[in-house]
Amino acid sequence: MTTENKICFQHGMRDGCPIALGYFAVSFTLGIAARNAGLSAIQAFVASVLNNASAGEYAGFSLIAAGSTYLETAIMTLVVNARYLLMSCSLSQKLKPETPLRHRMLVAYDVTDEIFGICVAQPGYLNPWYAYGAIAVAIPGWAFGTCLGVIMGNVLPTRVVSALSVGLYGMFLAIIIPPARKNKVIAGLVAAGFAASFLVNRLPLFSGLSTGIKTIALTIALALLAAVLFPTDTVNSEEKKEEVH
């Protein structure tokens, strides 16, 4: 490791520490979900090492708990984590053209919202070792938080575990409420998602479908509908109007 790479790695670790602390707190509630799905602490730990994504993991744990097939779980995880494909494409533009494929693949391994944000904010080209530094502290925080959530879920009383499970829903509310307040289009889509999910689970027409298939179908259908009715320019214009007001 060269001196420049070492300095970049240290800076990445420094900027990744706050992210790791946040990951630890959020992934603890994911550990509760993993425990409710029947996973052991080791299984939950490995899952978080391989899939550092709150929505993706929660979807996976929910489908496991519902007894979904491997194919359903794989497709749903891919759909929920699809945004990281776009982030990786964007982040690849920050790397020097001559950056080897192995570095591109290692950086793409852990492109999360937060790590993507600090990497994109770096001036000039991104040194892969900066991303490695952030990843080096972020992944342990996420994985150990999930593992601890499972362990505590097995030790704590059932009532406490049920109360902690609500924390995961609070995390998702914290994710969707701020953009929904700023943008009427997003708020409408969130409301439509809630309504559609309620109807699909209540109507006899869809009773023969598994939870995994219902979730996948709704996610794809609503995403396609939003893309057709509300292109990116429309969403951006709505955000600009809110900023002006």
The pLDDT of residue 160 = 64
The pLDDT of residue 191 = 87
Q: State whether residue 98 is helix, strand or coil.
A: coil
Q: What angle do CA 56, 119, 135 make, to 5 degrees?
A: 55
Structure pTM?
0.65
Q: Is 96 left (phi over 0), alpha (psi -120 to 50) or beta?
A: beta
The pLDDT of residue 127 = 92
Contact, 52 vs 138, CB < 8 A? yes
Tens-digit pLDDT profile for residues 194-216: 888 888 888 887 777 766 677 77
N-term to C-term CA, the chain: 50
CA neighbor of 215 nearest in space, from 201, 230, 225, 229:
201
- The kind and range of the H/E element at 120 are helix 113-120
Please tell me the distance from the alpha carbon of residue 165 to that of residue 30, in angstroms, as a whole number: 8
What percent of the chain is predicted at pLDDT more than 90?
A: 16
Distance of CA 196 to the CA centre of its chain: 22
Please tell me the distance from the alpha carbon of residue 243 to that of residue 245, in angstroms, as a whole number: 5
Domain ranges of the chain: 3-173, 183-245
Please say if the pLDDT value at position 224 is more than 60: yes
Helices (runs of H) and strands (runs of E) counted in the chain: 12, 0
The pLDDT of residue 144 = 92
Place of tokens 């776009």: 86
The pLDDT of residue 169 = 63
Tens-digit pLDDT profile for residues 87-134: 888 888 888 989 899 999 999 888 887 888 888 888 888 999 999 999
Confidence band for 235, pLDDT divided at 50, 70 and 90: very low
Please tell me the distance from the alpha carbon of residue 33 to that of residue 215, in angstroms, as a whole number: 17
Q: Give the mean model confidence (pLDDT) for residues 170-178.
A: 67
Give 187's DSSP letter: H
